[in-house]
């Protein structure tokens, strides 16, 4: 299979020849940071136009069709508009926390990209507690939301932030148990080990019905964690105008908007890595000819293909289901998803002990 390690190794060797080890490492970090910022910008443009085109398709209409060919440059025009808009700070707001909140949202999103393997041997940081790292850092995003709601000095913003806090803390339990089911079967928290364990089949196929249940619960839980409809109580336009970012404008609003879409990409990337093999091609047991053909497709295409498929499913949720009430949202988690997840984790543990998976 094609690997991007030759590119990374050549860059590292060139830097080591040109600079001393410390300066070479710092330069590598700067290059990685620039690449991450560039990826954020590209993802924002792609996912916004994808959202609008998918919603238009679901509702049998055209969607953006004026700026660029078939409206594909509409999100670029929206970005330029946000860059030119004045950023306002409301009277009575805590200016320091008000300005800090969107920065924290972006920092959390950037940190979450570190352990994700975008292709074979192409990963920012292959940490041995990758799954735990993602679970821990993803909890930071709720701090930025609560900070934005409280610092805005707006009752609608505060109410939206409190809703979001309750929602994220609740659904993290089910998402964590779903992730734990994969960790139990693999026996490692390292994302590269999880991908390698799916060389002879993805866990959604190898793990029988319990892994399918974990996958479905994971999708529902991360949809709620990213404040996507039908779980967008924190930004319910009909009740709270724009929720926790009501008072934000210009680039500060753009940072929240971008962080939301990047978080959708990240949770879908994690879901693809855990359940659908990440960059690993579709391999079926001893079908050597079929597996060899699948290996010709570059690993990065496998990863991004699976990730964008899951993004499409989450967008499909948004334009299919009506928004839940806050009591329905919490009932779904505490009365249904959490008990099912706890029972399912027992099944997965039994399956791992008895060796019943493929």
Any alpha helices (H) in the chain, and if so which ranges? Answer: 5-18, 21-58, 74-84, 95-112, 130-138, 140-151, 155-186, 191-196, 203-206, 208-225, 237-240, 250-275, 288-295, 299-318, 326-331, 338-354
pLDDT of residue 53: 92
Share above pLDDT 70 across residues of the chain, in percent, rounded to a whole number: 96
State pTM to two decimals: 0.91
32 is written with which tokens?
């990685």
At residue 194 the predicted structure's pLDDT band, cuts being 50, 70 and 90, is very high
Q: Is residue 146 within 8 Å of 165, Cβ to Cβ?
A: yes
Mean pLDDT in residue range 138-163: 87
Extents of the domains making up the chain: 5-354
Q: Helix crossing, 140-151 with 155-186: angle to 10°?
A: 180
Residue 342, strand partner residues:
none
Q: Is the dihedral of CA 111, 114, 117, 120 positive or negative?
A: positive
Contact partners, residue 83, CB within 8 Å, separation at least 6: 250, 251, 254
pLDDT of residue 264: 93
pLDDT of residue 344: 94
At residue 240 the predicted structure's pLDDT band, cuts being 50, 70 and 90, is low
**pLDDT, tens digit, for every residue of 252-273?**
888 888 888 999 999 999 999 9
208 is written with which tokens?
């029988």
Radius of gyration of the chain (CA): 21
pLDDT of residue 341: 95
**pLDDT, tens digit, for every residue of 65-80?**
888 888 889 988 988 8
Decide if pLDDT at 298 tops 60: yes
Contact partners, residue 28, CB within 8 Å, separation at least 6: 11, 12, 15
């Amino acid at each position: 299979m094609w690997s991007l390690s030759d590119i990374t190794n050549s860059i590292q060797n060139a830097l080591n020849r040109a600079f001393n080890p410390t300066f070479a490492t710092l330069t590598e970090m700067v290059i990685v940071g620039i690449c991450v910022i560039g990826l954020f910008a590209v993802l924002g443009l792609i996912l916004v136009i994808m959202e609008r085109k998918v919603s238009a398709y679901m509702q049998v209409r055209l969607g953006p069709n004026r700026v660029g060919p078939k409206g594909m440059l509409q999100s670029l025009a929206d970005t330029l508009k946000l860059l030119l808009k004045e950023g306002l700070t409301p009277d009575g707001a805590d200016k320091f926390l008000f300005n800090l909140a969107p920065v924290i949202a972006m920092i959390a999103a950037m940190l979450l990209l570190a352990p994700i393997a975008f292709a074979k041997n192409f990963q920012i940081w292959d940490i041995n507690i990758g799954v735990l790292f993602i679970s821990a850092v993803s909890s930071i995003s709720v701090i930025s939301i609560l900070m934005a709601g409280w610092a805005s000095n707006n009752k609608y913003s505060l109410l939206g932030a409190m809703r979001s806090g309750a929602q994220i803390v609740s659904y993290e339990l089910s998402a964590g148990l779903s992730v734990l089911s994969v960790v139990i079967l693999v026996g490692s928290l390292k994302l590269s080990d999880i991908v390698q364990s799916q060389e002879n089949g993805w866990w959604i196929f190898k793990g029988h019905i319990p892994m399918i249940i974990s996958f479905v619960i994971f999708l529902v839980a991360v949809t709620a964690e990213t404040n996507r409809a039908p779980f967008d109580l924190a930004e319910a336009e009909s009740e709270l105008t724009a929720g926790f970012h009501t008072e934000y404008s210009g680039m500060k609003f753009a940072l929240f908007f971008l962080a939301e879409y990047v978080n959708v990409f990240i949770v879908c990337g994690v879901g693809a890595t855990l359940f659908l093999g990440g960059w690993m091609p579709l391999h079926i047991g001893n079908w050597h000819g079929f597996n060899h053909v699948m290996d010709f497709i570059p690993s990065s295409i496998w990863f991004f293909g699976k990730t964008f498929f899951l993004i499409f499913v989450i967008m499909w949720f948004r334009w299919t289901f009506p928004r839940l009430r806050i009591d329905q949202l919490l009932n779904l988690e505490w009365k249904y998803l959490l008990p099912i997840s706890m029972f399912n984790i027992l099944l997965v543990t039994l399956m791992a002990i008895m060796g019943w998976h493929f």
